Copies of this chain bind each other. A is one copy, B any other.
Amino acid sequence: MAKARDSIAILGGTGDQGLGLALRFARAGRTVVIGSRKLDRALRAVEEVRQAVPDADVSGFENPEATRGAPIVIVSVPFEHTAGTVKAIRSELESGQLLVSMAVPLATAVGDGAVRTVGIWQGSCAELVQSLAPDGVQVVSAFQNVSAHRLRDLENAVECDVVISGAKAARERVMELCSLVPGLRGVDGGPLANARIVEQITALLIGMNARYKLPEGLGIRFTGLPD
């Protein structure tokens, strides 16, 4: 399959957050490729995108095929499936492709609650992904703190900053993705290791959403940034 030069593959694009990104990027006119472990689930998500965004340029595949040739591959599966997903697509990944890690090591992965996290040997989910990726494939951490509900609510802006961590040139490619979504602002999160902080913030937000009874989900903004 020949992918569009600027296509965005979203593995786990059938989940809440992945589907939300798919909707937003499709709405912005980008070519979106939805990946899933099961083809039929990917195709159902494609249908959902088309219903919300009738002129969407969207297609669905199993994860390895979705990965092949996509310049940017967003890994949007739950944390407990992230390592397995990266291993499954590994042989498809080629130098120059960008892998975006957005999972959060919530303690639900080990039977504990979503307001707590587990510590990752490599430092963060994003660094774990980097450790599993082939040489030449850069990993960027982003999108962890964006509410799935707000992403999917196409009538409203998302109102959230996205902290982007990774190598500089790679960060900038994801910065550009953020600019496609009304209300999202990419901010420079420095080296990939900072993902360990950004990922933790999600667990804090989940707790705050529960305490404040906000099913639509909080966002985060940095004040004092230059325009």
B212, A217: Cβ atoms under 8 Å?
Answer: no
Please report the C-alpha to C-alpha distance between residue A208 and residue B222 in the assembled complex, in whole angstroms.
10
Identify the interface centre among A109, A147, A197: most chain B CB within 10 Å of its CB. Answer: A197
Is A105's CB within 8 Å of the partner chain B? yes
Q: Beyond A105-B118, A159-B223: 9 further Cβ-contacts under 8 Å?
A: A84-B111, A115-B190, A116-B121, A116-B193, A118-B120, A119-B119, A189-B207, A201-B201, A218-B222
Among B119, B159, B201, B211, contact of A120 (Cβ-Cβ < 8 Å): B119
B212, A226: Cβ atoms under 8 Å?
Answer: yes
B193, A121: Cβ atoms under 8 Å?
Answer: yes
Partner-B contacts on A (CB < 8 A): 79-84, 87, 105, 107, 109-112, 115-123, 128, 147, 150, 159-160, 163, 187-190, 193-194, 196-198, 200-201, 203-205, 207-208, 211-212, 214, 216-226
B163, A187: Cβ atoms under 8 Å?
Answer: no
Which residues on B sit within 8 Å (CB–CB) of A160?
A: 223
Q: From residue A81, how far is it (CB to closest CB) to chain B in Å?
A: 7
Which residues on B sit within 8 Å (CB–CB) of A190?
A: 115, 207-208, 211
Which residues on B sit within 8 Å (CB–CB) of A150?
A: 224
B212, A204: Cβ atoms under 8 Å?
Answer: no
What is the copy number of this chain in the assembly? 4
A163, B204: Cβ atoms under 8 Å?
Answer: yes
B121, A118: Cβ atoms under 8 Å?
Answer: yes
- Output the nearest chain B residue to A210 by Cβ-Cβ distance: B190
- Output the nearest chain B residue to A81 by Cβ-Cβ distance: B111
Please report the C-alpha to C-alpha distance between residue A174 and residue B105 in the assembled complex, in whole angstroms.
30
Q: From residue A171, how far is it (CB to closest CB) to chain B in Å?
A: 10
- 26 A-B Cβ contacts within 8 A? A80-B110, A83-B112, A105-B110, A112-B122, A115-B194, A116-B121, A116-B193, A117-B121, A118-B120, A119-B120, A121-B193, A159-B223, A188-B208, A188-B212, A190-B207, A190-B211, A194-B204, A201-B201, A205-B222, A212-B226, A214-B225, A214-B226, A217-B224, A220-B221, A220-B222, A221-B222
